[in-house]
Structure 1
């Protein structure tokens, strides 16, 4: 395929513009470091806690509306075995932000934490916190791979560039401006990226509807009820467990995502953090509408009337690229270029958040508290930058494998859902939880998830839950096994914590067995000091 030179020029201009905004924001970050009462690392991680509501809504929305969200939603609606009813991304992410605003924003922001792992460090100490970083880090790398794979597929269709080149260039741009500016660069570039996504994707819809190759979508919804290509999709009772599992995975799993708390903790107050989450929930849902429409129109299009021809994308194994294919073959060429810009914007707006997420947790909760307690602020700044680079390169390498965008999207959230979410619920809302329960819950959640198998990673299931099926030699679990792992972990943390507490207090368990020193009598167990919010002290 020949390179689309005009389209390439437009994308280059867009990337250069984003770089300039990132550089401008990095200068703003440096000014904030001089005027802010907090530390330089606090400015990098949470923007000095003075991100406005408007910018907060933009950057929160842009983080959730990534390449996986846009392309994954279109892929699911287009796929004949799924359809609209399986497009769980928009409602799940809206629910996620509503729950985050109502229940999690206040307890996190009121304590002035810097990262999601801070409450664990204050209650359980450094060693257990380090083990929680691992699933969070893997999740961020998978998230980066997911959104880069989405962009690589899109650029290969519309611009004629190889996926490897597209992925490498986009990763380099995102890494660079996150590297130099921290949250300020991430937030202000997100504003431009979200605006570009919103305008370009919604502009595409009328042209798709009027395409000669697309039939009347309302007629197709009724005429094709017996046709496997009906875009509405079906949900059989046997599939209900899988549907509910994936819905809960995306709706609840992202509550354990550091990028969410980075936005919450960057707000000037708890109330502002709650408003940011609730407002972003509505915008996130609206941003899913173009992907749903594009997937639906592509499913009823007569591809034989386009230059793409037959067989259609689903039969060529290109369902994951349906959004760029629809823009390329069902809209004017100039409009497809706008489409590639929207996907590029979505990718970078989510990738920069994932990069800063991992870098913040490693620097604040591992390097500063365990490896180098006397590290200077300059040293911490460079640790953040190096971590951003390493996570970006790891995600970029994984993106070259080209797995299903939707599959990577789900996988990136699974570890958060099964392992970190129950831990976070307990540490915030169950004061009796202790490290004995936390360790047991961690092991239970991880083991149950691994023993359930994972086709993408080639891990065969040991536990076969009711309703499992074998399709093309691959075993698929239709039981909500992820939710089962999460609930078992949650119950384990609570019951073991309470049992151990009663056992030691009632002297049913010898004090000598308290190896971690949680219940030693007449000894005050040292804990990390709660963070002090300089902005609150000044106010």
Structure 2
């Protein structure tokens, strides 16, 4: 396929504009470092906590509306075995941001945390916090690979450009401006990227719907055509459907990228407003993908230059959005479409890069490895982490897996392991290190024993309703939700048992190897074990 030179020029111009905005925002970040009362690393991680509500809404929306969201939603709606009813992204992310605003924004922002791992560090210490970084890091790398794979496939279809070159160039641009300006560069580039996504994707809808291949096919439209994109939900698949929508709705509550936006707000009220407004915006941004996927399912591909067999029969359902733009819209509009996907990719990728870099620098490097590290040193650690996470995600982007599958997998460990821990550390004062460790092990063990076909891990536990397709075992039972709930129950139960055991002296105090409980002074009464005072630890750490 020949390279689309005019389209390539347009995309290059778009990248240059984004890069210029990122560089401009890095200058704004340096000014904030001089005027802000916080440290340089605080400006990089949470923008000095002075990101305006409007910019916060834009950057939160742009972060959630990534390549996986846009291409994955269109892929599912188009696929005959799934359809609209399986397009869980828009409603799941709406629920996610509403729940985040109601129950997580205030407790996180009111404590002046810098990262999602801060509350764990103050209550459980450094060792356990380090163990939580691992699933968070894996999730961010998978998220980066998912959105880069989406972009690579899109550019190869519309521009005739090698997906390898597309992935490398896009990753380099995103890494560079995140490297320079931290959250300021991420937030302000997100504003432009979201505007571009909104304009180009909604502009595509009438052109796709009025394409001769679609209007011609509509004459012969029957109920089977409608069912092909509406989809069906059989009772046997209800568990899997519920599991996946809960995975995206609740699992994404454990993303550092969400809390970076919450913690960058000037107050708890502003953080909540940001979440609620972004919830509606994210849902609206899913409409073009749904429409394009549905129209593509109803189109007569034999009337296009693509011909037959259709994309699904060729195994190209994951590329249905760029294919629809390429063959169902004018050339100039398909170029705008590739720009929208590029914008979606970079708006999510930069957030994932900064997310992992922030947690490692703040909660591992500064707190454990180099407690006396200077601000300049911390800045360079953040930049190196941004580079390494970007390179790791870029490497996985060449795997060729389904965009939708990678999108789900990126949230998997967060849902099963970190979410129950986050609920307990923010809302349950009874949770302690013993319960947290047991909950971590239970959640991880159940998830691994359930298997994962993308990673080549065979299931050991076969839940009710499982079946085998093409040599691959499909679990229809909501096994991810089961792992999450078991982890949550384990944290609460073991924590209460440990507290009761030490309080009632059923367990010798010398067995408190983790130092979770300590005695009152003798002048305050009998030595009764008390849990660590989280607030005092937090204040002393800040001072």
Give the 5 Å matches for 1:64-79: 64-79=64-79
Q: Residue 207 of structure 1 aligns with which residue?
A: 207
Query: Aligned partners of 1:429, 1:218: CA distance in 2, in Å?
Result: 53
Q: Residue 83 of structure 1 aligns with which residue?
A: 83
Unaligned runs of 5+ in 1: none
Q: Residue 526 of structure 2 aligns with which residue?
A: none
The alpha-carbon distance between structure 1 residues 299 and 533, as it changes in their structure 2 partners (threshold 3 A), is farther
Secondary structure at the counterpart of residue 114 of structure 2:
coil
2:392 matches 1:384: no
Query: Aligned partners of 1:219, 1:42: CA distance in 2, in Å?
Result: 60
1:402 shift after superposition: 1.6
CA RMSD of aligned residues (A): 1.7
CA contact (8 A) 1:363 1:383 kept: yes
Query: Aligned partners of 1:215, 1:9: CA distance in 2, in Å?
Result: 32
CA contact (8 A) 1:23 1:177 kept: yes
Secondary structure at the counterpart of residue 454 of structure 2:
helix
Query: Aligned partners of 2:155, 2:341: CA distance in 1, in Å?
Result: 9
Q: Residue 470 of structure 2 aligns with which residue?
A: 472
Query: Aligned partners of 2:216, 2:499: CA distance in 1, in Å?
Result: 65
Q: Residue 527 of structure 2 aligns with which residue?
A: none
Query: Aligned partners of 2:498, 2:446: CA distance in 1, in Å?
Result: 23
1:228 shift after superposition: 8.7
Q: Residue 197 of structure 1 aligns with which residue?
A: 197
Once the two structures are superposed, what CA deviation does each residue of 1:147-176 show, in whole Å capped at 9, x if it has no partner? 000000000000001110000000000000
Query: Aligned partners of 1:273, 1:533: CA distance in 2, in Å?
Result: 24
Unaligned runs of 5+ in 2: 522-529
2:331 matches 1:323: no
1:529 pairs, out of 503, 516, 537, with 537
Once the two structures are superposed, what CA deviation does each residue of 1:199-222 show, in whole Å capped at 9, x if it has no partner? 00000000011100014899888x
Q: Residue 53 of structure 1 aligns with which residue?
A: 53
CA contact (8 A) 1:449 1:482 kept: yes
Secondary structure at the counterpart of residue 3 of structure 1:
coil
2:268 pairs, out of 245, 266, 270, with 270
Secondary structure at the counterpart of residue 470 of structure 1:
strand
Query: Aligned partners of 2:271, 2:240: CA distance in 1, in Å?
Result: 33
CA contact (8 A) 1:86 1:243 kept: yes
Query: Aligned partners of 1:219, 1:249: CA distance in 2, in Å?
Result: 39
1:345 pairs, out of 343, 346, 351, with 343
Once the two structures are superposed, what CA deviation does each residue of 1:51-85 show, in whole Å capped at 9, x if it has no partner? 00100000000000000000000000000000000
Query: Aligned partners of 1:360, 1:219: CA distance in 2, in Å?
Result: 55
1:301 pairs, out of 299, 302, 306, with 299
2:367 matches 1:369: yes
Q: Residue 450 of structure 2 aligns with which residue?
A: 452
2:230 matches 1:236: no
Query: Aligned partners of 2:97, 2:22: CA distance in 1, in Å?
Result: 26
Q: Residue 163 of structure 1 aligns with which residue?
A: 163
Once the two structures are superposed, what CA deviation does each residue of 1:373-412 show, in whole Å capped at 9, x if it has no partner? 0000000000000000000000000001121000000000
Query: Aligned partners of 1:94, 1:228: CA distance in 2, in Å?
Result: 26
Q: Residue 524 of structure 2 aligns with which residue?
A: none
1:229 shift after superposition: 5.9
1:520 shift after superposition: 3.4
Q: Residue 518 of structure 2 aligns with which residue?
A: 520
CA contact (8 A) 1:215 1:300 kept: no
Query: Aligned partners of 1:352, 1:511: CA distance in 2, in Å?
Result: 47
CA contact (8 A) 2:142 2:393 kept: yes
Q: Residue 308 of structure 2 aligns with which residue?
A: 310
Query: Aligned partners of 2:440, 2:269: CA distance in 1, in Å?
Result: 32
1:500 pairs, out of 491, 498, 501, with 498
CA contact (8 A) 1:77 1:232 kept: yes
Secondary structure at the counterpart of residue 518 of structure 2:
coil
Q: Residue 442 of structure 1 aligns with which residue?
A: 440
Query: Aligned partners of 2:219, 2:105: CA distance in 1, in Å?
Result: 44
Give the number of equivalent residue pairs: 533
1:522 shift after superposition: 3.6
CA contact (8 A) 1:220 1:230 kept: no
Which piece of structure 1 moves more, 515-524 or 92-101?
515-524
